[in-house]
Amino acid sequence: MGENDLKEFPNYFPDSCPPIDKAIKEEMKVYRIVPSSSIKAKDFIAPGVRRKQYASATCDNLALSVLSSTNDIPVAHKFFSGIGMKKMNKVAVGHISPDTGVFVHDPSQTVGYSHVNWWTFMGVEPHTYFNEILKIGEDI
């Protein structure tokens, strides 16, 4: 039995986070904009955790951002380039399921209408659910 079999979230998550009532119930192919040419754990850390803002982070900042459609990759890439993150020019491709956490559609004008917030259960290592890196403008 693995750690994520407990299906618990960290105790620093705010009340009602994640929004379980809006959870997607089936496996989903997803895409995450990343800077690295290989799959690295450091590219799969939620912003609120990366900044160690446990107590003050919003629920959304404790989620990983992924896309469910390749159509939104140019939108997300343009957004990241526009805020000075030009190295975010690769896409990790993977599959997530309800066994990994809770994920919810969160359409966004800035990063795309297929945007999904993904809150992983304790013990889940998000990068292990991705198996391919594509270069934006070349492979995708």
- Strand order in 101-105's β-sheet? 101-105, 115-120, 64-67, 28-34, 90-96, 130-135
Q: Tell me how crowded residue 59 is: count the other CB atoms within 10 A of its CB.
A: 17
- The pLDDT tens digits of the residues spanning 33-55 come to 999 999 999 999 999 999 888 87
**Stated length of the chain:** 140
Tokens describing residue 61: 């900042």
The domains found in the chain, sorted by start residue, are 3-135 (3.20.170)
pLDDT along the chain (140 residues), means of 10: 68 95 98 96 95 88 97 93 84 98 96 97 98 94
Q: Report d(CA 25, CA 48) in Å as an integer.
A: 25
Model pTM?
0.91
Q: Is the dihedral of CA 66, 72, 77, 79 positive or negative?
A: negative
